[in-house]
């Protein structure tokens, strides 16, 4: 059961009391909870797949790779590395503090709030939760109400496997989220849209609560220069139409020269037919749009577009189905270029030069991901060095976010903060600077006390200053 | 006017001239020259603003700035270089790294208590990270602020690093503009407003705020040294330090001694009459003077208590037996009043601290390691110094920042650079080896799914591939050693048998020896393995 019966305040107070008792701090507790979460996934795989299918008609394959395995991978990574992450980090010192212990402790923040999204309803809740648990916090989890089946399942399973004293699921819509945000948390982790993000930041400002915002934007895909067009098309199609285009890191639109476009279209068509058969609607590997409202938004956007449909264009309201669609002759002012598409519609815009493409991208908000397809390394380098984005991937799409060593997050309008792997642990931790001094060497301290002597200054400068080539790195 | 300044700074940033490391180093060197060449002017301005002594200026402001600049210049290439990250099986031949990038235009809002340190130190980070920066020094330290406005354009790129002076209206106007990061040092009340303004543009913020930094004195410690260090940290800059020990917690049995030791130290530091000491500061202005004097309400003065409004002078004052609900315990003092609140011991002290907002700094004095350990483990704060005060601020490799009400984010040294950079996740792949991708494409079947999972799923041992290779080698090596050792021992034993069958001999190798060798081999292997895994993650993943 979610928290319909109990008031939100009661829940949050209970979690805060648990946190203050110190129960979440020991490594053994955190490991136990992470292992319990692992069991939750393993023992309920069928139900999870069912819920995901109910919500998004998510193909089993996609659900396994992008939801279940993402979570279990993250859990394994955290379980295997938790001890290391929890170690104090010893740092380099200056002469005055040579005999002291200087280290950084990673400490839990307290009670954190995790707000999920509907497009990857399992992973967008559980991956941050892994970071929060690993870091020793208590957490309130608020799954998206749009992916209802998953929301219900999480509300049922989480209290069954995790400590109810330390972790709670709160269900509801915009109203419930608003009241939730009136409470004080020690960190808020939000995945979703920019509009809502602003109000979350405002609510957080009242309590000086730090936030992580995983937002979106239009992820550009530059295809330029000499390249293996077939391989590029396959990877592009895979990344674009995965989850029916409803991924925050899906390539939103393509920028390429007219020549490349002409070679690209048939290659995309071929890839689409290989992946989803010539009848994608009948194909079990093709997803659906999450709600009627979102379906309408997409079909309206498509209708208003002045581009030419080169591939696809079909849709069905009852099934919330939109055929994988590619448009050409799309202008910068087109309806498809107004906001993040978040659907299986791929506009192709043409450019003459690479510089033009880079300028186009830089004129717009910084995206969550930026893609370049090219067999020419100088092209890739040029784009990388002359643009900014949350993440960057050349010659593929989406996969950069599956590497736990890379931070996953946005910049500018696409978000702030990051997670995945150790980055999640760090996000939900406070890095406390600690210096343990001894009682000796009080004679040295005398230099700093009044009454001040000019002569002491020289010594102090020498003792506390940085030396050239001085290694201030970890003493490991 | 503010809008124009920000637009110019943005144009300067977009020109790309702050990208090359050479430019950044040049700017940092120029900044260093500014500090060195204009020391006299800076000292004069600070004296006028807050009666800061020349010594304090050096120790608390200029030495720190100089250290940070030299560190940034020295290490910039390393900080700005791509940072390799862990790969999985599918990306073994790809480039996986994190590329630090500039954010754009940063707004730095300084404070008045250490007007140079808290304004220039973030600026060092901003420059090093390749950003443009609009600098807004505090109007309360008027002379320093005017001087900064005059000097900075003389040394640094004028469009890239403009200085905007003014009061609340100017700051508010600035906060309406869009920045890529806002770095604010000041109090929590304004901090909330800054964050709220930033929210409109989804601008990330670093807030270096304050709070009441507690100072627990255990009865088991060298009281004389402890009180001396505390006195130094408390009354320097007339108590106007964000990490000054705000109040003392100690057992009633040592209160009198603490007061006596502080009295003795004050005598040593400032003489009979601190008002006449050149080393003792003043309160910044009349408003704060009245505020601090007001905090004396309802307290028992053990030392000091004198004041002179005309000079904004308040004597170093110690208050005894202060009640938790006294006025002086309700807000950050930021002045030379040192209340002593008695507690029954460590337990109560920890409870007392945890009942309040998380402070910027926490101090604990004890000769017992256990006491310090417990205090660390059971409380939270921005930073901690045990058996001294303020000092954790002085080590650039320690992150300096608050938590909860005392702030968010961190800086100093490399932390400044990282705080004002975007750490961009990068995966650079070739279009070749398309075969590897087959498993993840539709149409899907169980066999393909299994294959895909094999490549992408983490095994229970989720060490990076390098560690796995290393672990395998270590295992082979260890096993080889074990075998070699056993062979040698058995051989020797065999020879013994052959050549000395007239003697009774004790076996050279028995179960104890074998188990010893096996466990030695095992531990060596584990040590090597763990060491390597440890090293893999000892890089500060930062941000």
Chain B residues close to A474, C-beta within 8 Å = 538-540
Residue B245 contacts A, CB cutoff 8 Å? no
Closest CA to B249 of B314, B338, B360: B338
How far away is chain A from the Cα of B267, in angstroms, using its nearest Cα? 10
pLDDT (0 to 100) of residue A465: 63
pLDDT digits (tens, 9 = 90+) for B276-317: 999 999 999 999 999 999 999 999 999 999 999 999 999 999
C-beta separation of B409 from B103 below 8 A: no
Which among B279, B387, B413 is the nearest to A438, CB-wise?
Answer: B387
Most B CBs within 10 A among A382, A413, A433, A455, hence the mutation to make, goes to A433
Closest CA to A466 of B100, B236, B124: B124
Instruction: Report CB contact under 8 Å: B383, A434.
Output: yes
Residue B387 contacts A, CB cutoff 8 Å? yes
How far away is chain B from the Cα of A284, in angstroms, using its nearest Cα? 9
In angstroms, how far is the first alpha carbon of chain B from the final one? 34
Instruction: Report CB contact under 8 Å: B537, A186.
Output: no
Instruction: Report CB contact under 8 Å: B543, A418.
Output: yes
Query: Which residue matches tokens 């920066």?
Result: B133
Lowest mean pLDDT among A124-138, B304-318, B360-374, B519-533: B519-533
C-beta neighbour count of B507 within 10 angstroms: 11
Specify the pTM: 0.90
Whole-angstrom distance, CA of residue B212 vs CA of residue B354: 12
Whole-angstrom distance, CA of residue A366 vs CA of residue B524: 49
C-beta separation of B339 from B329 below 8 A: yes
pLDDT (0 to 100) of residue B500: 42
pLDDT (0 to 100) of residue B502: 44
Instruction: Report CB contact under 8 Å: A228, B442.
Output: no
Strand-pairing partners, residue B317, are: B337
Supply the DSSP string of A242-256, one letter for each residue: GGGG--TTS--EEEE
Strand-pairing partners, residue A394, are: A372, B428
Does residue A434 sit in helix, strand or coil? strand
Rg (CA), chain B: 30
Name residues 298-337 of chain A within 8 A of B (Cβ): none
pLDDT (0 to 100) of residue A386: 96
Question: What is the length of chain A?
Answer: 476
Residue A466 contacts B, CB cutoff 8 Å? yes
Whole-angstrom distance, CA of residue B402 vs CA of residue A186: 13
Closest CA to B177 of B131, B209, B134: B134
Chain B residues close to A403, C-beta within 8 Å = 85-88, 91, 96, 425, 427
Q: Is the pLDDT of residue B17 over 50?
A: yes
pLDDT (0 to 100) of residue B41: 95
Catalytic residues of B: 208, 242
- HSE of A193, CA atoms in CB hemisphere, 13 A: 9
Whole-angstrom distance, CA of residue B208 vs CA of residue B407: 5
Q: A225-236: string of b/e by CB count within 10 Å (b at 16+)?
A: bebbbbbbbbbb
pLDDT digits (tens, 9 = 90+) for B171-222: 999 999 999 999 999 999 999 999 999 999 999 999 999 999 999 999 999 9
Whole-angstrom distance, CA of residue B477 vs CA of residue B482: 9
Chain B residues close to A285, C-beta within 8 Å = 442-444
Closest CA to B125 of B410, B394, B408: B410
For B270: left if phi > 0, alpha if psi spans -120 to 50, otherwise beta; the answer is alpha
Which among A69, A97, A448 is the nearest to B453, CB-wise?
Answer: A69
Whole-angstrom distance, CA of residue B179 vs CA of residue A116: 27
Instruction: Report CB contact under 8 Å: B424, A422.
Output: no
Residue A5 contacts B, CB cutoff 8 Å? no
Q: What is the mean pLDDT of residues B47-64?
A: 85
Tokens of B164: 């905007």
Task: Spell out the SS3 assignment of B232-290.
Answer: HHHHHHHHCCCCCCCEEEECHHHHHHHHHHHHHHHHHHHCCCHHHCCCCCCCCCHHHHH
Helix axes A69-86, B446-456, angle to 10 degrees: 20
How far away is chain B from the Cα of A323, in angstroms, using its nearest Cα? 16
Catalytic residues of A: 214, 248
Strand-pairing partners, residue A370, are: A392
Query: Which residue matches tokens 């009682």?
Result: A439
Interface A-B: count of C-beta contacts within 8 A: 355
Question: What is the length of chain B?
Answer: 543
Q: Which is more confidently placed, A96 or B144?
A: B144
Nearest chain A residue to B194 by CA: give it: A205
Nearest chain B residue to A443 by CA: give it: B225
Nearest chain B residue to A94 by CA: give it: B395
Instruction: Report CB contact under 8 Å: A204, B67.
Output: no
- pLDDT in tens for each of the 476 residues of chain A? 444 446 899 999 999 999 999 999 999 999 999 999 999 999 999 999 999 999 998 889 899 999 999 999 999 999 999 999 999 999 987 766 777 889 999 999 999 999 999 999 999 999 999 999 999 999 999 999 999 999 999 999 999 999 999 999 999 999 999 999 999 999 999 999 999 999 999 999 999 999 999 999 999 999 999 999 999 999 999 999 999 999 999 999 999 999 999 999 999 999 999 999 999 999 999 999 999 999 999 999 999 999 999 999 999 999 999 999 999 999 999 999 999 999 999 999 999 999 999 999 999 999 999 999 999 999 999 999 999 999 999 999 999 999 989 999 999 999 999 999 999 999 999 999 999 998 877 777 777 888 887 777 777 777 666 554 443 332 22
What H or E segment, with its residue span, contains residue A222?
strand A220-223
Q: pLDDT band for position B440 (50/70/90)?
A: confident
Which among B188, B422, B453 is the nearest to A388, CB-wise?
Answer: B422
Whole-angstrom distance, CA of residue B198 vs CA of residue B312: 35
Supply the DSSP string of A33-97, one letter for each residue: HHHHHHHHHHHTHHHHHHHHHHHH---HHHHIIIIIHHHHHHHHHHHHHHHHHHS-EE----GGG
In angstroms, how far is the first alpha carbon of chain A from the final one? 47
For A160: left if phi > 0, alpha if psi spans -120 to 50, otherwise beta; the answer is alpha
Closest CA to B23 of B164, B151, B131, B181: B131
pLDDT digits (tens, 9 = 90+) for B74-124: 999 999 999 999 887 777 788 999 999 999 999 999 999 999 999 999 999
Whole-angstrom distance, CA of residue A142 vs CA of residue B44: 56
How far away is chain A from the Cα of B323, in angstroms, using its nearest Cα? 24
Q: What are the start-end ranges of the H helices in A228-352?
A: 229-241, 258-276, 292-304
Q: Which is more confidently placed, A246 or B436?
A: A246
Query: Which residue matches tokens 């901690």?
Result: B384
C-beta separation of B258 from B229 below 8 A: no
Query: Which residue matches tokens 């009180």?
Result: B227
Strand-pairing partners, residue B308, are: B313
C-beta separation of B441 from A57 below 8 A: no
Whole-angstrom distance, CA of residue B189 vs CA of residue B167: 16
Chain B residues close to A109, C-beta within 8 Å = 403-404
Residue A432 contacts B, CB cutoff 8 Å? yes
């Amino acid at each position: 059961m979610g928290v319909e019966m109990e008031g939100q305040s009661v829940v949050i107070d209970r979690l805060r009391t648990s946190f203050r008792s110190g129960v979440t701090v020991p490594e053994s507790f955190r490991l136990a909870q992470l292992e319990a979460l692992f069991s939750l996934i393993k023992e309920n795989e069928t139900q999870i797949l069912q819920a995901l299918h109910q919500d998004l008609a998510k193909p089993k394959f996609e659900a396994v790779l992008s939801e279940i395995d993402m979570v279990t991978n993250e859990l394994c990574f955290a379980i295997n590395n938790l001890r290391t992450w929890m170690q104090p980090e010893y740092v380099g010192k200056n002469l005055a503090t040579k005999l002291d212990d200087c280290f950084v402790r990673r400490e839990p923040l307290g009670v954190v709030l995790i707000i999920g999204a509907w497009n990857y309803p399992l992973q967008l809740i559980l991956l941050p939760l892994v970071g929060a648990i690993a870091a020793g916090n208590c957490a309130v989890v608020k799954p998206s109400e749009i992916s209802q089946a998953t929301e219900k399942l999480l509300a049922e399973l989480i209290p069954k496997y995790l400590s109810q004293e330390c972790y709670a699921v709160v269900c509801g819509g915009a109203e419930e989220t608003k009241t939730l945000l009136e409470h004080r948390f020690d960190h808020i982790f939000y995945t979703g849209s920019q509009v809502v993000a602003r109000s979350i930041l405002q609510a957080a400002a009242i309590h000086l609560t730090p936030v992580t915002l995983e937002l979106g934007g239009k992820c550009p895909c530059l295809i330029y220069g000499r390249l293996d067009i077939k391989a590029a098309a396959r990877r592009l199609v895979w990344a674009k139409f995965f989850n029916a285009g409803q991924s925050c890191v899906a390539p939103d639109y393509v920028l390429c020269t007219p020549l490349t476009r002409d070679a690209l279209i048939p290659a995309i068509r071929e890839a689409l037919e290989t992946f989803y058969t010539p009848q994608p609607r009948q194909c079990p590997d093709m997803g659906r749009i999450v709600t009627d409202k979102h379906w309408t938004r997409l079909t309206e956007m498509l209708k208003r577009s002045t581009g030419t449909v080169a591939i696809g264009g079909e849709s069905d309201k009852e099934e919330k189905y939109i055929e994988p669609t590619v448009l050409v002759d799309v202008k910068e002012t087109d309806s498809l270029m107004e906001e993040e598409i978040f659907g299986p519609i791929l506009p192709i815009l043409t450019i003459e030069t690479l510089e033009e493409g880079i300028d186009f991208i830089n004129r717009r908000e910084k995206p969550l991901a930026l893609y370049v397809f090219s067999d020419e390394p100088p092209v890739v380098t040029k784009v990388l060095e002359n643009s900014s984005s949350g993440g960057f991937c050349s010659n593929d799409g989406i996969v950069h976010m599956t590497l736990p060593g890379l931070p996953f997050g946005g910049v500018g309008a696409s978000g702030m903060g990051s997670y995945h792997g150790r980055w999640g642990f760090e996000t939900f931790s406070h890095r406390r600077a600690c210096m343990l001094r001894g009682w000796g060497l009080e004679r040295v301290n005398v230099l700093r006390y009044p009454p001040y002597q000019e002569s002491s200054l020289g010594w102090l400068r020498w003792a506390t200053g940085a030396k050239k080539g001085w290694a201030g790195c970890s003493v490991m | 006017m503010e809008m124009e300044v920000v637009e110019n700074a943005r144009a300067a940033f977009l020109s790309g001239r702050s990208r090359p490391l050479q430019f950044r180093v040049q700017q940092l060197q120029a900044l260093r020259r500014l500090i060195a060449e204009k020391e006299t002017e800076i000292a004069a301005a600070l004296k006028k603003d807050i009666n800061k002594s020349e010594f304090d200026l050096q120790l608390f402001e200029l030495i720190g700035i100089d250290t940070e600049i030299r560190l940034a210049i020295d290490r910039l290439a390393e900080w700005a270089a791509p940072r390799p990250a862990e790969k999985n099986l599918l990306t073994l031949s790809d480039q996986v790294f994190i590329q630090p990038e500039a954010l754009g235009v940063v707004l730095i809002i300084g404070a008045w208590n250490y007007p140079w340190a808290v304004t220039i130190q973030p600026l060092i980070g901003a420059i090093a990270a390749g950003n443009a920066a609009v600098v807004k020094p505090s109007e309360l330290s008027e002379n320093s602020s005017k001087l900064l406005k005059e000097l900075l354009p003389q040394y640094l790129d004028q469009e890239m690093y403009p200085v905007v002076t003014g009061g609340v209206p100017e700051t508010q106007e600035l906060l309406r503009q869009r920045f890529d990061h806002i770095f604010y040092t000041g109090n929590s009340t304004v901090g909330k407003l800054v964050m709220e303004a930033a929210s409109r543009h989804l601008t990330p913020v670093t807030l270096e705020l304050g709070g009441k930094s507690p100072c627990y004195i255990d009865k088991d410690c060298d009281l004389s040294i402890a009180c001396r260090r505390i006195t130094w940290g408390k009354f320097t800059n007339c108590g106007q330090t964000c990490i000054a020990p705000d109040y003392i917690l100690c057992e009633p049995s040592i209160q009198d001694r603490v007061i006596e030791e502080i009295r003795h130290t004050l005598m040593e530091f400032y003489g009979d009459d601190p008002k006449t000491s050149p080393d003792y500061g003043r309160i910044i202005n009349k408003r704060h003077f009245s505020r601090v004097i007001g905090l004396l309400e309802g307290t028992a003065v053990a030392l000091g208590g004198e004041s002179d409004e005309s000079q904004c002078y308040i004597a170093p004052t110690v208050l005894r037996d202060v009640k938790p609900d006294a006025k002086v315990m309700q807000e950050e003092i930021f002045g030379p009043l040192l209340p002593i609140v008695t507690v029954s011991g460590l337990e109560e002290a920890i409870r007392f601290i945890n009942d309040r907002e998380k402070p910027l700094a926490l101090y604990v004095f004890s000769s017992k390691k256990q006491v310090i350990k417990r205090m660390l483990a059971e409380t939270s704060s921005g930073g901690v110094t045990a058996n001294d005060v303020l000092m954790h601020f002085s080590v650039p490799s320690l992150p300096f920042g608050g938590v909860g009400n005392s702030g968010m984010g961190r800086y100093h040294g490399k932390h400044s650079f990282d705080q004002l950079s975007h750490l961009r996740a990068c995966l650079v792949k070739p279009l070749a080896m398309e075969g590897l991708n087959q498993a993840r494409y539709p149409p899907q079947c169980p066999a393909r799914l299994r294959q895909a999972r094999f490549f992408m799923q983490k095994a229970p041992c989720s060490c990076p591939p390098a560690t796995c290779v290393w672990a395998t080698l270590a295992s082979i090596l260890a096993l080889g050693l074990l075998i070699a050792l056993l062979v040698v021992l058995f051989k020797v034993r065999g020879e013994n048998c052959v050549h000395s069958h007239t003697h009774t001999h004790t076996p050279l190798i028995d179960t104890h020896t074998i188990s010893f060798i096996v466990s030695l081999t095992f531990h060596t292997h584990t040590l090597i393995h763990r060491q390597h895994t440890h090293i893999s993650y000892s890089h500060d993943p930062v941000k």
